[in-house]
Structure 1
Amino acid sequence: MRSYLTSGIWMLLIPLINLLYAPLNHVKGNVYSLITVLDQHIPFIKYFIVPYLAWYLLMFVILSWFMKRDHKLYISSLASICVGLLLSFLVYAFFQTKVPRPVIMGQDLFSNLTRFLYGIDNPYNAFPSIHVMTAYIIFVASSKAKGCGRKMVLASQTLSVLVILSTVFLKQHTLMDVAGGIFLGGSLFKAMTLIQRLNHKSLLKQAAKSFTLKPQEDKYGRGYATKRVIQE
């Protein structure tokens, strides 16, 4: 139980790093547009507000699931997300983009939630999309999860896809933002997985070197057996 709590505490890095988001989400100089013709043909669908807003809570649930089922996967996923957040904020600081938003006319729950989102999140921190980056990391990680049920993996990946789609259907991001998020998330997860493998191989080599076979001698000085000696 204590080990779970110790590992789980590291997830607090995500909200701590996210404290950098708000100060960057204001006009600071040149603002660029990454809108394409395809973006202009994507409709606004208010129902996607549900997976979009629920994502951060569900992401922590999925990370907790990784932590219990596959601790190495949990570490690589969490590290990828944290580094991805920092790199995204670095881009926001020097390359600011803006996504035009539609006017929301309805008074239903989904319209009100979308207006709430627009009210608390200025349209400037867009490329790369953090929602897409984190969702893609979870999508890829779920496919590699060990000891996890197929239903849970399918649910996790389906949710990740819905979150990625929600970013464009809510007009929070452009297709370029999505591509940037996928590239960043995929690259970081591969890098973290590779680092884990190299570190594991290094530990195995160190463990192998710590054991040697030293010949034993009888009272006449003849070698007759070996014993394993752990080098200090």
Structure 2
Amino acid sequence: MSLKEKAAGLIKKYKHAWVFGYILIYMPWFLYLEKHVTSNYHVIHIAIDDKIPFVEYFIVPYLLWFVFIAATFLYFFFTDVEGFYRLAKLMFTGMTIFLIISTLIPNGVNLRPVYFPRDNIFTDLVKALYRADTPTNVLPSLHVFNSISACIAICDSAALRKHKIISWSAYVLAGLIILATMFLKQHSVIDVMAGGLMAYALFQFVYEPNKKKAPKTAEQKIASWGR
């Protein structure tokens, strides 16, 4: 097989890679918001936010979010095309809604500590995070939404459900990531709740219809056996 034929075969096999073109829409829009939403934004805050302590150690799961989301996408990309499309539809729809909300209702938080209670490598990482990421465009939390979306895809996968250690490790990591958004003072509890509600609402449109089809298929098979 020639190199040209191999390349054509790979393109045909992984033609669903076109979905990643969404990044060409998301990133310019997000970076524009990050640059221009710097003042005169709605401050997201609830009383319980002030009760949550700053814990720098949560920077570890917070940063692992990037690995978690990338690994989940790549797994479905290479092993389950239908699952990949459902995951992309769920995540990219939510991310677009996030961009629209941030554009129409500029928002942010004023929760970050001025002084850190401890000085260690974890606080250094948090300081680096604060420098790279503005405290704006926070509602709903994409860390929360995307983490829950990844868990939905994993739970929906028959192949991954067989590997309890992998699936439950993903659920635990997602839980720690969600907690990290609050303990690192990156998000208000309101942002977290909004991210969870958006994941639940979009789940009804992306995943639930497929589940409702399954019993009908089974009933049809039973009916055919009785003929």
Indicate whether the TM-score tops 0.5: yes
Does 2:37 correspond to 1:27?
A: yes
Whether the 8 Å CA contact 1:138–1:157 is kept in 2: the answer is no
Measured after TM superposition, the shift of residue 178 of structure 1 is: 0.4
Q: Does 1:115 align with 2:127?
A: yes
Contact 2:38–2:136 (Cα < 8 Å) also in 1: no
Q: Which residue number corresponds to residue 158 of structure 2?
A: 146
1:46 to 56, 66, 72: 56
Deviation at 1:170, TM superposition (A): 0.5
The alignment covers a number of residue pairs equal to 201
Percent of aligned positions that are identical: 25
Partner Cα separation in structure 1 for residue 38 and residue 169 of structure 2: 40
Structure 1 moving runs of 4+ over 6 Å = none
Match of residue 230 from structure 1 = none
- Structure 1: which 5+ runs fail to align? 205-232
What does residue 158 of structure 1 align with? 172
Give the 5 Å matches for 1:55-204: 55-100=65-110, 101-105=112-116, 106-148=118-160, 149-194=163-208
Determine the structure 2 residue equivalent to 1:13. 22
Query: How far apart, CA to CA, are the structure 2 residues paired with 1:109 and 1:19?
Result: 32
Q: Is the 8 A contact 1:139 1:160 kept in 2?
A: yes
Distance in 1 (CA, whole Å) between partners of 2:122 and 2:164 is 31
> In 1, distance between residues paired with 2:205 and 2:196?
14
Aligned CA RMSD, in angstroms, stands at 2.6
Q: Which moved more, 1:57-66 or 1:156-165?
A: 57-66
Please, which moves more after superposition, 55-64 or 21-30? 21-30
Distance 1:11 1:117 in 2: 25
Which one has the bigger helix percentage? 2
1:58 CA drift (Å): 2.1
Higher mean displacement: 149-158 or 13-22: 13-22
One-letter identity of the residue aligned with 1:184? M
Q: Distance in 2 between matches of 1:59 and 1:27?
A: 26
Matched residue SS, 2:114:
coil
Structure 2 residue matching 1:81: 3-state secondary structure: helix
Post-superposition Cα deviations, 1:39-59, rounded to whole Å, max 9, x if no partner, equal 110011101111112212221
* 1:181 Cα deviation from its structure 2 partner: 0.5
Query: Residue by residue, what CA displacement relative to the aligned partner does 1:52-81 show, whole Å, maximum 9, x if unpaired?
Result: 122122211112223344432221111111
Structure number with higher relative contact order (C-alpha < 8 Å, ≥ 6 residues apart): 2
Normalising by structure 1, report the TM-score. 0.76
- Amino acid paired to 2:63: L
SS of the equivalent of 2:159 reads coil
